[in-house]
Amino acid sequence: MQRALDFDKTPALGVPLPFFLNVPVFGLLAGLLAVWAGPQAFTSRWGAATLAMTHLWTLGILGSAMLGALIQILAVACNVAVAPARAIAASVHALLTLGTLALAAGFLWWSPPAWLAAIALLGSAFVIYLSASGLALWRQRRQVYKGAREILVPVRGALAALTLTVLIGLGMAGALGMGMALPDWVGGHILWGLLGWGGLLLMGMSFQLLPIFQLTEIYPKPLTRWLPLLIPGLLLAWTALDASNGLPRLMRETVELLLAGAYVSWIGASLHRLSTRKRPTAEPTTLFWFTGLISLLACAPAWIWLRHGQAPQAAMVLGVLLIVGGLGAIVHGMLYKIVPFLLWKHAQDAMVIPDRNPAQARVYLKILPKMAAYIPVRPAQWHWALYVLVVLSWGLAAAGWPPAGQAAGPLLLASAALLSWNLGRALRLYRHTLRIMAALPHHAAAAPGQPAADA
Ligand code: HEM
């Protein structure tokens, strides 16, 4: 059972927004790095620039957006408020941003001091975030909305997976920072990070958000009930098999096949729902969802290629499909839905209508831009088209085609620049609206303390 979102629980704009603004900033940085490194960045998984780029994507772009969105979704969909939201968001945002830069610098210059700095910064960011969200989920467990189970189970799984990903990552970075032999944990790190943290969070969001925002049918009950439990179980089985020596590789591959099957069933159900949605026009968010789901579906043949082919490019292609094509596209689509909504909502909250005066209300309604005015459809569609080119160029570059490696960096730069422009324009309109409202008679005196002043 899905319930409507309770937007009155929306945290202050300053809580999620800085996380969302990291997406274009880290997109620009990853694009610059890809331009600088050229096709070389796609030749080996273990290259310095490749590892740096991987984490600009996974922590800077995906991680930032997902951590910010999760605070928001916990509040409005589950009635779970992470508190004190502003202080937690501000410190986590600063530590995550600096820590990701330090980690990327560590890989780029193969620098132990940078790795050690990354450990301190990222370790603190995740301790604060995970303990605050864990505490909120525990303390407020009795007040969660009925029907929020569909989202809570995958969210808990995603947070547990993030904890493991981070612990393994910190362990490996610690070994690098102290000049010790690198433990062979990278398989678990990738699996828990991408299929656990990324996949489960996306799945939980889709159960709640696709029916509400894309007007799709709700997901079948057995799927929403069992998949979020099956996937962590399979990840645990994979980890146990990976850790025990001497067992046939086939056992681990069977678990991988089951994981692929579990995700394919969710992708199939989501694609079916999107294709039969009641909203006829495909808005930019819908297009990004299609792109993300199709890229995720393409991971299945890429995985077979990885396991049964000899080509070293298979792992790179799989990584690009998951990170850039799958998670990346859906995160971008989410921004085009959530940012205009939040700006519209906070501008509306800033309205102060003295004595419920209808004439005054009409003035405000004329001033308040509609949600669609914050980011018009056309530039968002342009961005989607550009992003598809990013996915294609990064995928072909990973498959070993050098011209695509030349195009990958400039295309990502262009995509991040267009996203910056689209978000910047929305923010300018929001600030402009607040200024006009503040200048209206009666408003200035009443404005301080209003929610929008939080922004
Ligand atoms: C505290 C945060 C993190 C730290 C310190 C960290 C650190 C590391 C280290 C040291 C490596 C191995 C480098 C090597 O084998 O030479 C690695 C690889 C990797 N990490 Fe992380 N990581 C973190 C978070 C994440 C997250 C959240 C994700 C995904 C959601 C992720 C995805 C990956 C991937 C995909 C690779 C493999 C790259 C490749 O095969 O080319 N990491 N990470």
Ligand 1 pocket check for 170: Cβ under 6 Å: yes
Q: What six digits make up the tokens of 79?
A: 């009635």
Contacts for 440-443: CB closer than 8 Å, 24+ residues apart: 440/360, 440/363, 440/364, 440/367, 442/352, 442/354, 442/360, 443/352
Looking at the CA of residue 197, tell me the nearest atom of ligand 1: 30
pLDDT tens digit sequence for 102-135: 999 999 999 999 999 999 999 999 999 999 999 9
Among 27-31, 80-84, 318-322, 439-443, name the one with the lowest average pLDDT: 439-443
* pLDDT score of 146: 80
Say what percent of the chain tops pLDDT 90: 81
* pLDDT score of 312: 85
Residue nearest to atom 22 of ligand 1 (CA): 169
pLDDT tens digit sequence for 256-287: 999 999 999 999 999 999 999 998 788 999 99
Write phi, then psi, for 43 (nearest 5 degrees): -85, -30
Q: Tell me the average pLDDT across 183-187.
A: 92
Say what percent of the chain tops pLDDT 70: 95
Q: What is the pLDDT of the chain when averaged over all its residues? A: 92
pLDDT tens digit sequence for 301-318: 999 999 888 788 999 999
Residue 93 pLDDT > 60, yes or no?
Answer: yes
What separation in angstroms does the CA of 110 have from each of 34, 38, 105, 178, 179?
17, 19, 8, 12, 11
Ligand 1 pocket check for 433: Cβ under 6 Å: no
Distance 439 CA to ligand 1 centre (A): 50
Binned at pLDDT 50, 70 and 90, residue 454 comes out as very low
DSSP 198: I
Ligand 1 pocket check for 96: Cβ under 6 Å: no
DSSP per position, 312-369: THHHHHHHHIIIIIIIIHHHHHHHHHHHHHHHHHHHHHT---GGG-HHHHHHHHHHSP
User: Can you tell me the distance from the alpha carbon of 140 to that of 135, in angstroms, rounded to the nearest whole number?
Assistant: 8
Q: Tell me the average pLDDT across 325-347.
A: 96
Residue 28 pLDDT > 60, yes or no?
Answer: yes
User: Can you tell me the distance from the alpha carbon of 119 to that of 113, in angstroms, rounded to the nearest whole number?
Assistant: 10
The identity of residue 410, as a single letter, is P
CB atoms within 10 A of CB 73: 24
Q: Which of 170, 186, 201 to mutate to test the pocket of ligand 1 (most atoms within 8 A of CB)?
A: 186
pLDDT tens digit sequence for 351-388: 777 667 787 778 788 889 999 999 999 999 999 999 99
